[in-house]
Every structure is written in structure tokens, then in C-alpha cells.
Structure 1
Amino acid sequence: MKSNIPNLSITLIILMLLTPVKAYSEQYETITQLSKSEEWRGLLHIDVESSDSALKSYVDDSKFFLSADGSTNPRSELLATIKALKSNGKTQCRYPARTLFLFSRIENLKQEVTPFECKDYLDWRSTLNTTSVVLVFASAQLNSPSSMYGHTFLRFDPENVEQGSTYLSYALNFGATVTEGDNGFLYAAKGLTGGYPGQFAANPYFEKIKEYSRLENRDLWEYKLNLTADEINMMLAHIWELQGINFDYYFFDENCSFRLLELLDVARPGLGLANHFPVTAMPLDTVRVVEQVNLVSSVYYRASVLTELKAQLAMLTNDEKNLALALSEDIKVLDSPEFIKLTTKQQQLILDSAYRYLRYQNTFNGRAKDTTRRSFLLLRRLNENPSELIIPIDVPVRPDLGHKTTMVGASIGETQDTPFIEFQYRGSYHDLLDPMPGYYEGMSLNMVNVMIRAYKGGDIELAKLELLDITSLSARDRFFSPWSWQANISLEQQWTIDKNVLVTQGSGGGGVSYQPLDNSYLFLMVTGRLEFNRKFDHYAAIAPGLHAGFLYYWPKTTLLIEAEQYQFLFDQTKRSRVSLQQSLQIGVNDSIRFSADFYHIDTQDNVNNAFQELKLEYRHYF
């Protein structure tokens, strides 16, 4: 009988040789799969939908990566992180989110890493003391173009914040680091091309309230998120990793809102929030997406100081408003017969209104000695009969419940007795006649607005390519004196001499607006226009002008009547236009609009051209 001992020995030797190979193969497969996971790529800010040949992190700072090719090779960065964790305990403090992820996904890795106390990180977490997270949307500011799209940031709340004060909370903001001395044009150019680095910064929330609510007069909408304790822990760990790390900042895509969506994707993998915005990421649209994936548990409206002040002034009669204004200018009004004859309740309301108005004015005009003394005397008089004043503030429609910001339209019409159909696409985001719920009255901000027109007979033309169109109608009254203004840059068809000509133009102006009726604006602006027109004797022509109009809002429909005129300085051409437009909201994201425009053009050859254009349009917002 033959012995099986030699065969057994050979088998054992083969198994011993193959076991490390098998273990290595399994480890290689684990590392490869982890590097492709949504969680790991999220921690590196790499688009999870990118193909392996097009991987590129949004982080533009080599300090963030441990491997030379970490920004494009997630597997290389994962291996470098594991190696660093095993060789240097401080890596756990520099990358707490990566550490949490790898310890939970790689068996026995935690046992191979020497524990290290991360005092700075633990102190930071203790300072934040976060138990819940709130997404905050700062609404538009009418007189600031860069703020018209709104802004988002995160707020981190301690326990029982509803029963206490959010002044104990911290806010996390992502913004551009602007070079001191950059003018408006340079700021816009760099913001559009990624010329500014962007960083995350955490500040006490009361500083944000002061910045937005008091200094910029912007209402705040606070969306409490239903993140779990583990999700909040992962998000904060990753935020720590991003301290001092630069991203390229772009106004329309890699902006404040896009970066916050990436953080939420890290907190709750699988949402894919950032993937919703491959081209642009407007703050309002990002709020909608967060709501759509059921991340929001409750919403709170925080009115700005200006909103509160206007609501309080609306409680006064006309005579009481006159007294409040006079009292803010002269403390002796307290001894006037008109004031003395009022009841104590009326006097307190007028006193409080005058005091708040004076404080509001001092926010922007400094604290002159006489106004400071007047403010003190008003406050002392108020405290003689202390009472709690309840200001009724109507909560407006939430901005995320308004119409969506991209629009397509289809029209039929007639101009100069020629029928046409027109197709329109607008990238963003709201004009004066769009459905009002969720938006501010008197505000228009549109970018990339394209109109293609096809005439009966087969002719097709670019009717207009509007790069930028802004209108800000800020009503004036006895208390407030803001300016209204407009700006427009476009390519558009203009009837010149005997035909339509595609011209390039930039125009703008400023003036005043008033509200003769509730929900209405009557405005007048002095304007200027620079036009490049090949049919003019001088290719570049300048034209001063006037623009007047009346705007009225009903609950479901809006009326706009306009008249404008330009007089070109060198080509002796004068253009006049009278327009009537009426829109009707037929759904949250659908509307119908009728317009009638009447044109009159005088040329230097005394040729008069007059024609009208009628149009009926359907608009869908998405």
C-alpha cells in the first residue's frame, strides 16, 4: 500500500502559497470597490456619474489630497489614506470623515491604527454642540444685482434650540474670497470664470442675522433638515476636513448652493443632490431639490428688520405716520397738542415706530450724536409705559413653492401685417409679469433669454438674445427713498430705415417708483442706450431717453403698461414705443401672456415708420 504523505505535503504547500494570493486578491477587490463607491467619491468631491477616464475632483487645492494624483484617482487617494492612518495617528484628526468611513468599511483596519486624541477637533465639535441642521435661504435683495438670486447656507443648532435662541447656533457659509479693490466689472468677470477661490467659513448665526436681516434687508427662510445623529456626525467630520481648503468659485454652478448639496450628499449618500445641477445651481432651485427628496421636516420664516418696520408702520393711520416721522426728526413733538391728545396706546405705538425707524436709519447713516440722543430719549419715554407690541406680519408664499426658474414659451402673433410664430427659452429666472407667488413684486432678473421667430413665407430670424435684463422697482414714500433702476444687454432686431437689423445694445437707467394703489407701481426712469447698428451713419450710437410705466398685481394676473422713447444724438433717429401686457397664471408653472406694442420711428431723412405688434404666448416653467 502506497503512502499519501507526499501528496498531502504538496497539497499543503500549494494551499499555503495560494492563500496570500487569494487574500491579496480579495483585498484588492475591496479597495477597488470602495474607491468607486458614492461615499468615497463624495468625500473627495468627485462627480459619481463621471466615467473613470473623466474623474476630476471639484477641490482645487493640493493640500486636500494625500497622493499626487488624488484629485483624479480615487483609488490612489484611498490607498494613501490607509497608509497614512497606519503610519501617522494625526491623520485621524486631519481626516475624521475619511477615518469614519474606512473604519466602518474595512475589516480590522481600526485595530491596525493607533488611537489618537484629536483635541482641536473635539473642542470644535463641543463648541458647535450640534443636534440638528437647518438650511437657510436668504431671499433676494432688490437693489443688489449680485443678491437677486438669493443665497443659501447651513445653520447648526444645539439641543432645544426651539425653546431658546438661535443666537447660540453657528452658520456655515461657502463664498468667494474677493480681492480687495476689485470693481464691479472685474468682480463679475472673475465670478463668471472662476477667478476667485471659494472657502467654507463658520460664524455665529447672529452675525448672519445682522448681515442679511438688518444690513441687507433680506428675509430668511429656515428649512430644518431631518438628518440623523450619525449623518450630522459625518457631515461635521467632513466640514472639518475642508477648513482652509480652496475651491474655484463660479457664480452659476460651483457656488454656495452647489457646495452645500455636496455636504448633504456626504451626510446621506444616495441622494445625488449635486447631480441635479450639471450646468447651473441657483440657490432657489437647490432648496427645491432638498425639499423634493424629503429632507425638510419644518420651515420657519424670519422677517427682515425692514419687513417688520413696514408692517409696523402699516398699523398707523396717515396722521399717526406723520407724527412718527416728525418725532424721529424732533423730540419736541412729544409736547405737541397732536401727540398729547392721543391715548396712551396710540402714543406708545407712535413712539415705538419712531424709535425703530430711527434705529433703522442709523444702521446706514452712522450714529450721529444728535440722532443717538434722540433715540435714547425715545427709548426712555417708551420704558415709562412698557408694553408688549405685537406686529402682525403676513407670511408670504415660500420661495420654493413659486414657479420654477427655467422657462420655455411658444407664441403666435402678427407684426407689420405679417403673421409669425415664436419660440422662447429663458435660462433664469423671473420677470415683472411672471406668476408672483414666492417672488418679490417689482423685481425682474433674466439671463440667457433667446427668442426665435418664424414668419409666414418661411423666413426665420433671431428675434432677440438677451444676456442680461434686470429691473428693480423699489417704491418710495415718506419714510423710505430708494432708487429704482434697470439694465439690459442684448442682441435684438430693430427696424432701421427700411428693414429689421440685428443690433447689439446695452442700456440702463435709474429713477423713482411710487405705489399709488396697493400692489401697484408707477415708475419713471431716465435712461441711456449704446447701440451698434450697421445701418447707422455712425456704427456706434448713443441715445438718452425716458421710460415710464404702470404695473399692477392681482392674485392671478398682472398688468404692465409702458412707454419709452430714445433720441439718438448723432444719427437723428428717434424711437418711441407704447406697450400693454397682461399675464394670467393658469398653474404654478404655467401662464398665458398677451402683449400689444405700438412703435413709431423717425429718421434723419424725415421718414416716419409706425407699426404695431400683437402676440399671444404660452409659458411653461421647469
Structure 2
Amino acid sequence: MFSYSTATNKSHTAKKTPSKGVSLRALLPLTIASLLCAPAQAVLPTPLSLVTTGALAPNSASLDAATPKTTVVDLAASTVQDNSAKGGQNIAANTPQAQQLLSKWRKQVEADNLAEHTTWRRLLYFLDDKKSILNKGAPKSLIDNPDFFLSANGQSDAGAELDAMLIAFANQMTVPKATSSQTTLSQTSNSSNNAAVCRFPARTQWLTDTLGIDGARLQADCPELASWMKMLNPEQLSIMFAEEYLDNPISAFAHTLLRIDSPISAANPNLIHHAYALNDTVDGDPDDAFAIYAIKSTSGGYNNRIEIDPYHEKLAKYLKDDERDAWTYQLDLTPAEVQQIILHVWETKDLDIPYYFTTDNCASEILRLIDVVRPQQNLLSQLPYVVIPSDVVQLLNNEDLLADARFTPSDSTVRQAELNKAKAAAELGYISLSKNDAQAIKSAERNAASSISADGKTIVDHGIVASNNNPTDRHPFQMAQIGIGQRGDNGYIDVGVRAGFHDMLDRTMGFSQFFNLEALAATVRFYDTDSNDNEPDNVVLENITILRGRSFNPVNSAQRGKTWGVNVEATRVDDGSQVEGRDHLVGSVGYETGWSWAFGIPRSGTGEMPPQLCYALLSGTAQGGRGLSKGFRVGAGVNAGCHYQINNQLRAQAQLELPYWYHGDTSAPDTKGHYWQPITTLGMQYDIDRTQALRLDASYDWQDRVDANDDIKLAYRRYF
């Protein structure tokens, strides 16, 4: 599905008949979907430089008899295949001159093996990554919409589709031009828009360039395509990265889109009303419940939607509504490559392609488009199966495809910069700053400061130093660790992995302040003693984290959101209801909400908050497991702590958990049905470099019925 809006036409939507989807795609990790969602494109096509399937359609199969055409209008219509026709055969070259041209081109195609060329197969959405799983590597195009092919066999045979394009070229080059007496302007417009060269301009451009065909001789006007290209006026492309936003689940993993610059906005990037945003997102049903929405967007239950919007409107949504900082990176592409990418978008914008949040999303589509014009680069094949927006930015940076970087602060960052400046001036005695004055600066309702001008058309430079959140500086998302520790009287070796993201003690560069989101992690412990009644087993599954995160919006900062947290995991806990209670593996779901405060001195000239943080959260938790008294417990209490940034390489965090647990009424001797169980924890991490760190974790359980109260561990962490 494709939609675009302009200043005069806010929403125009063209939707074709829904496709059947890709039946062989399996459901993808639903655990990530439970997190959220969102925005964020096409199945990961990661072809090899040359592939080994597909062949040209035999000449005899392509030269079936067809009624000769006498006008450009009729000829253009003849190049459109009617798949409902009996046999679904291609229209044949209809004149001796056309057959002569076709014979010449076929020889060149066969000599150069163009039907198997990487670029041609990428233009057709063929998936040629032999090492991929599930549906990738299938010997056919992802697209099952017959409108995307001229040949009846085009989805499974790239050679047949190439041959059909050549037939269309030959016909259009050899038919006499229409005169004004032969057709009306309306007829010409409608029919020409359906010509093969109008429907597939990127294929046409590549084939005419490769075969040395004079495109001017194709005799086809494409008014709709011409109008679209005139509107966009593409000169330059940039990738825009909007940082993670935990307060909106569909934006929790960040978002990327393409900025299309005209010559005016390319010369002056601040003139954003002369640019457009190309955004691939999920075409979801807003009336669906969140759980249904998440499952469908992850499993291909929705189609994708290509949106073309005025860039200043799209940027305002991120900076003003979500208050997310944005980074924009100019792509090192030639003007010809930019044109070809936009022409390819024209070919595919109306296709209903299944959307998979974790693999075929806003980020993967950008790489796919670049792969189309850079056949020597296989960008998509360099990423894991799950595609994360910041991974894409880092990959493009590593491949030297980012020519320039620009930081655009959100409205909250602009207000925070003003608040920092006012507090610094007040401390030096230059101004007086009352509590009401400070509240007015940080209030979104009372302070309209923004990076976007009042008319919404340009970027305003407030002279704010870029925050320390450039995603090109991030540590890798995956992490493995090995540690040694002591729990009570038992020593152990601890081994763990984490599939994604970042906790409060990880290296902070490249992330927004106080960002905390972990997903899909597991830890196993190997104890050095055999088990008895009061000792753990040799091998113990310590924890499986599905999701753990906290969103911190300090009340004394310019952030508008609340402070809250959530966790979904299986973890080992000590049951304080029984004498000498052992630890047990339980399922646990918890939610927190409360307040946080930032303190300290922020970096000069930035819109960053002070670097230290304290918080107090009201918590509620439900746990279930066979080892617990009555098989369950529910708790409510307070979690309070502080996070301290000692220097760029060293951080520490201390926390007090004060839950009150309830198991239900019991008459069993020496068993409590409810009790307090305070736990204190301390964590410290020292960064060796971007991919290595040392972490110290310690905890003490103050419940006197617990068998092993203390636990301390030192671990080596490797990010990859």
C-alpha cells in the first residue's frame, strides 16, 4: 500500500488488491513483539553477486502471433500482460523491425548472462541468500502480485521477465507515433501510464543502460510518473534515525526513514519544506488490541505501507510529539543512483508485501534499496536475521556510505538546554532563577522552543552541542559474559548471553540518557558442589529474561513522560515463607511506576540532563512456581535506588527492593503466609573498550529465613 501527502493534498491512498503473502514464512520471535511493535520493511533480500538460477525464455515461446498495432496508445496497452487470458502468454514482437531488435538484444543478454545479474534479480525481489533460513533463498520472487510481472512466469523465472521487457521495448521502438487525429489526450494519458516503461521505470533504466538502448526511442509518455518525480525532485538521499522511545511501545526500538532532498534542500539542509520523507511502516489496524497488533506486525499478518510525506511534517512528529532526538546522515550515493532508487520505489510502492517487524521493516528496506543500485555490496546479508534500525546505521557507517551527520534536538532537548543554561547562569550570580521560572522553561505548555520554526518549514539552529547519543558510537547489541562468584557457602561459574539492547550499567555512548531495555537473555550457573537439602544443583538455570526495561523521565527535567518499568522473566528467587528457604525458578511478571530525579552538572552547551539519577518506584509483582509455598506469591512494595556516572568508563548503581509478599492463608507449621523481604543490590561496570567490560554484581537478602543471603559475582562481558 502506498500513500503520500503534500501541502495541498494531505492524504492520498492507492491500494491494490491484497497479495496472498508468503505462505512459507514462519512466525518470528513473538517475544519481541510483546514489547511493542513498530514503525519501522520487504523481506531481507540478500542476493549473491551472481546467482545460478533463471534463464531467458526461448525465442519460440516469446514470438507467438499477435495483432499488429498502429498507434503508440494501442501498443502501450499491448505490453501489459493479461494473466487472466488463456495460457497467460506474452505479447510477441509484432513487426519484422521489432523482431530484429529483439534478436540483437537477446544475443547480448545471453552473452552477458543478464537474466542472472544481481541487479536484475534484486529489481524483481528475488531472494538469493543461500545461507538464510525460512523462506529466504526460495527460487522465486517475494512478490506474488501478477501486476508486478509482464510474463506469466515472471515470479519464478527472472529470464522470462527480462525477455518480456525486451519485447515491450521492441514493440514501442518500432510502432509509428500516434497523431492527434488518432487519439485523444485523455486516451494517451491513460494508456501511456500503463506502458511497461511507465510501470517499471527502474527496470527500464537499468536495461537500456546495460544494453545501450536509446531510451528516447521508446516513444512513451508517462504523465503520472513524471508528475511524481517532479513533486519529489530527488537530488540526494539521507537516512534519518529517530532514537528509541520507550513511552510508546511501537517506537521502542527506534525508527529509520529516508529523506529525499531536492536540489534546494540538498544545498541547504535546514530548508526541510523542500524535502520529502520516504517511510516504510506497518499497515496495521488501529482498532486491533495491542497484543493482536503486536502478533500480526511480527508474523506478517499485516502488509507494509509506503508513505511519502513532506519531510517537515514527518520530522515534527518525532521532535515535537514524541520528543525524540534525530540524527540525519547523508548517503554517499550518486545522483543517478538516487534517481534509480526512487524509480524502483515507484515500481513497488503499491504492492501489498507482508510486514515482519523484526526482519522486514523500516531499516531493512533502506538496505534493500541501496543493494539494488550497488550490486557489489550485499548489505542485508551482513546483518543478523533480526534487523534493528541502529544496526543499519552502524553498518552503513562501517561501509563508508554515510557522508555527513547532522544532529537535530527534540523539543525536550531544546528546553533542557535552556534550563541548563539558566541554572548555570544563576549559580554564577548572573541571573536569579525562581522555581516558577525554572518550571516555565521546562514546561512544554509554557515554552514553545523547538528545532522547527514556527511555520514548521525550516530547522532552527539553537547552537546546541550534539548529545552523546549518536547511534554510530554504540556498543554491539548482543552480549555474552562469563563470571565467577560466591553464593552463601557455594562457589560458581556463571555463563550468560543477551540478544539485545542495553541496561543502565552498559557503556552509555550512542544511547539516550538512562536508556534501559533488555530482551531475550539467559544465565546458567555451574556450582562446585553436589546438591543436598540446602545446596544448589551442579547446573542451575538462573534466569531467562523475556523483557526488562525502565523509562526514566526525571520530574526536575524537561522530559514530559512518567517514570515506569516492566519485567517479564523466569528467575530464581528465595522463598522467605519457609525455614531455611531455598531458591526456586519461578515465572515472574512485574510493573513499576513512580518518580525519578536527575542531579549533577550536565555537559556544557548540551541539552542533556544531569548525569546522575535517583528514583523511587511503587512496584507490583506476581510469581508462580512449584517450589513456592502454595505455588505462587504476589508482592507490592517500593524499589528505590541511585545511578552514578563516575566517569566515561565507570558507572555504579545501588538499589533497595522492599516487597511485601503474600502466599495465601496457611496453617502449616513454620510457614508464613505473608512477610517482608528486603534486598539490597550493588552493580559496577568498567569499560575496557567499546566491546569489552568488567562487571561486579553483589546482593544481600535481609530475610532471615533465606538459606543463602549473600551473592557476589565478577564477570567479563563481551559485546558482539
Pick closer, same or farther for the CA change 1:40–1:481 going to 2, 3 Å: closer
Partner of 2:395: 289
Which of residues 466, 471, 483 is equivalent to 2:545?
466
Which of residues 40, 45, 55 is equivalent to 2:139?
55
What does 1:486-497 align with in structure 2 at a 5 Å threshold? 486-496=565-575, 497=578
What does 1:382-397 align with in structure 2 at a 5 Å threshold? 392-397=464-469
Partner of 1:614: 712
Q: Which amino acid aligns with 2:715?
A: E
The answer to whether residue 166 in structure 2 is matched with residue 78 in structure 1 is: no
Partner of 1:245: 351
For the residue of structure 2 that corresponds to 1:230, the secondary structure is: helix
Which of residues 139, 151, 164 is equivalent to 2:255?
151
CA displacement 1:375-427 (0-9 Å, x = unmatched): x9xxxxxxxxxxx9955444435221121111111111111221111221111
By percentage of residues, which structure has more strand?
Answer: 1
Pick closer, same or farther for the CA change 1:107–1:413 going to 2, 3 Å: same
For the residue of structure 1 that corresponds to 2:422, the secondary structure is: coil
Deviation for aligned residue 1:281? 0.7
CA displacement 1:193-247 (0-9 Å, x = unmatched): 2222112111111011210011110111110112112211211110111122122
Pick closer, same or farther for the CA change 1:29–1:94 going to 2, 3 Å: closer
For the residue of structure 1 that corresponds to 2:221, the secondary structure is: coil
Q: Is the 8 A contact 1:175 1:255 kept in 2?
A: yes
The separation in 2 between residues aligned to 1:354 and 1:577, in whole angstroms, is 36
For the residue of structure 2 that corresponds to 1:563, the secondary structure is: strand
Partner of 1:199: 305
Deviation for aligned residue 1:495? 3.1
The separation in 1 between residues aligned to 2:462 and 2:343, in whole angstroms, is 42
The answer to whether residue 626 in structure 2 is matched with residue 534 in structure 1 is: yes
Deviation for aligned residue 1:355? 9.5
Can you give the 5+ residue segments of structure 2 that lack an aligned partner in the other structure? 1-99, 173-191, 427-431, 455-459, 531-537, 601-609, 665-672
Q: Which amino acid aligns with 1:493?
A: R
Partner of 2:361: 255
Which of residues 663, 669, 678 is equivalent to 1:570?
663
Deviates more, 1:432-441 or 1:85-94: 85-94
Can you give the 5+ residue segments of structure 1 that lack an aligned partner in the other structure? 1-19, 329-352, 363-375, 377-387
Q: Which amino acid aligns with 2:127?
A: D
Partner of 1:501: 584
The answer to whether residue 404 in structure 2 is matched with residue 298 in structure 1 is: yes
Q: Is the 8 A contact 1:466 1:489 kept in 2?
A: yes
For the residue of structure 1 that corresponds to 2:555, the secondary structure is: coil
The separation in 2 between residues aligned to 1:521 and 1:246, in whole angstroms, is 46
For the residue of structure 1 that corresponds to 2:293, the secondary structure is: helix
* Relative contact order, higher structure (CA 8 A, sep 6+): 2
Deviates more, 1:530-539 or 1:222-231: 530-539
Pick closer, same or farther for the CA change 1:354–1:464 going to 2, 3 Å: closer
Partner of 2:121: 41
Pick closer, same or farther for the CA change 1:354–1:414 going to 2, 3 Å: closer
Q: Which amino acid aligns with 1:557?
A: L
The separation in 1 between residues aligned to 2:561 and 2:660, in whole angstroms, is 27
- What TM-score results when the alignment is normalised by the length of structure 2? 0.71
The answer to whether residue 555 in structure 2 is matched with residue 453 in structure 1 is: no
For the residue of structure 1 that corresponds to 2:554, the secondary structure is: coil
The separation in 2 between residues aligned to 1:100 and 1:478, in whole angstroms, is 53
The separation in 2 between residues aligned to 1:511 and 1:55, in whole angstroms, is 54
Q: Which amino acid aligns with 2:159?
A: R
Partner of 1:100: 205
CA displacement 1:275-296 (0-9 Å, x = unmatched): 1234111000000111111111
Pick closer, same or farther for the CA change 1:104–1:25 going to 2, 3 Å: closer
Pick closer, same or farther for the CA change 1:614–1:60 going to 2, 3 Å: farther
Deviation for aligned residue 1:31? 8.6
Partner of 2:231: 127
Q: Is the 8 A contact 2:585 2:627 kept in 1?
A: no
The separation in 2 between residues aligned to 1:116 and 1:417, in whole angstroms, is 83
The separation in 2 between residues aligned to 1:533 and 1:619, in whole angstroms, is 30
Partner of 1:165: 271
The answer to whether residue 502 in structure 2 is matched with residue 409 in structure 1 is: no
Partner of 1:219: 325
Pick closer, same or farther for the CA change 1:68–1:437 going to 2, 3 Å: same
CA displacement 1:278-321 (0-9 Å, x = unmatched): 41110000001111111111111111111111101222146425
The answer to whether residue 695 in structure 2 is matched with residue 593 in structure 1 is: yes
Q: Is the 8 A contact 1:308 1:391 kept in 2?
A: no
Deviation for aligned residue 1:53? 7.0
The answer to whether residue 665 in structure 2 is matched with residue 560 in structure 1 is: no
Q: Is the 8 A contact 1:596 1:613 kept in 2?
A: yes
CA displacement 1:115-136 (0-9 Å, x = unmatched): 2011111121122122111111
Deviates more, 1:81-90 or 1:39-48: 81-90
For the residue of structure 1 that corresponds to 2:544, the secondary structure is: strand
Partner of 1:512: 595
Partner of 1:6: none
The separation in 1 between residues aligned to 2:598 and 2:286, in whole angstroms, is 39
Partner of 2:564: 485
CA displacement 1:246-285 (0-9 Å, x = unmatched): 2222221111100111011112222111112341110000
By percentage of residues, which structure has more helix?
Answer: 1
Deviation for aligned residue 1:54? 2.4
Pick closer, same or farther for the CA change 1:539–1:361 going to 2, 3 Å: farther
Matched residue pairs, number? 548
Percent identity of equivalent pairs: 24
CA displacement 1:67-98 (0-9 Å, x = unmatched): 45544433343334444555676111110011
Pick closer, same or farther for the CA change 1:577–1:194 going to 2, 3 Å: farther
The separation in 2 between residues aligned to 1:447 and 1:280, in whole angstroms, is 13
Partner of 1:332: none
